[in-house]
Amino acid sequence: PQFATQYVLGYFKNFAQNKWESSVEVYYKDMKNQVEYKEGALPKDDGGNNVDNNLTFGRGWSYGAEFFIKKRVGKFNGWVGYTLAWTKRQFDEINEGKVFYARYDRRHDVSLVFNYDISKRLVLGATWVYATGNALTLPISRYFIEGQIVNEYGERNSFRMDAFHRMDLAITLKGKETKRFKSSWNFSIYNVYNRKNPYFIYFANEGSAFDGTLDIQAKQVSLFGIIPSIAWNFKF
């Protein structure tokens, strides 16, 4: 079974008559019996009807620091969070036994959330998030052998996707409250500046290796561009 041990040290402080709260935490997490596919194995391979033949076990660890500050009251309120982190893995049968960054290793992770009470019934909200791109393994060279493309890969997860970031905006209009009923309208825009955040990368082949016209290009697939939405919420 997989198991982990985590150590956390934190400092928490409220100030300005509890209008503000802040915290700083550092952590270290040690993980045992982590599971990965062996080099060259694919999820669709049955490993001779035993999927365990395609798996290898190793260890992992992560460490970093988290910073947080929040304004709790007032017409203008919100919070800022920042995480600096490292996440690594080591498997004897992967990457020649050398340590490599996990796929979801994210060096920087930032969240900004702000709300402004225009009136008692109207609230403007804005959110911005940023995260270092995921680590991935890509070919460093290719060979053509008897018309077949043979990829040569470098170290595990030695490349990075582009960073993920987006901004969301929202306006909330609260309805008139009664003793039995509360409602609100929410008008929001997800990914305001239509950032094409990477979801995964694939390679497209054009032409033929036989006549020397083969062209291989890496292409990025992105999900969820700008999305406007309207929602009505009610309680009774």
Q: What is the pLDDT of residues 162-172, one digit of tens each?
A: 999 999 999 99
Last residue of a domain, one of 102, 127, 147: 102
| pLDDT tens, position by position, 183-201 | 999 999 999 999 999 999 9
> What's the domain range around 57?
1-102
Q: Kind and range of the H or E element at 234?
A: strand 227-235
Q: Is there a single domain that holds both residue 67 and residue 122? A: no
Low-confidence stretches of the chain (pLDDT < 50) are none
| pTM of model > 0.75 | yes
- Report the pLDDT value the prediction gives residue 47, as an integer from 0 to 100: 53
Task: Report DSSP state, residue 192.
Answer: T
| In a shared domain, residues 114 and 171 | yes
Question: Is 69 buried (19+), middle (13-18) or exposed (0-12) by CB count in 10 A?
Answer: middle
- CA 8, distance to chain mean position in Å, is 22
Same domain, 140 and 236: yes
Q: Which pLDDT value is given to residue 213?
A: 73
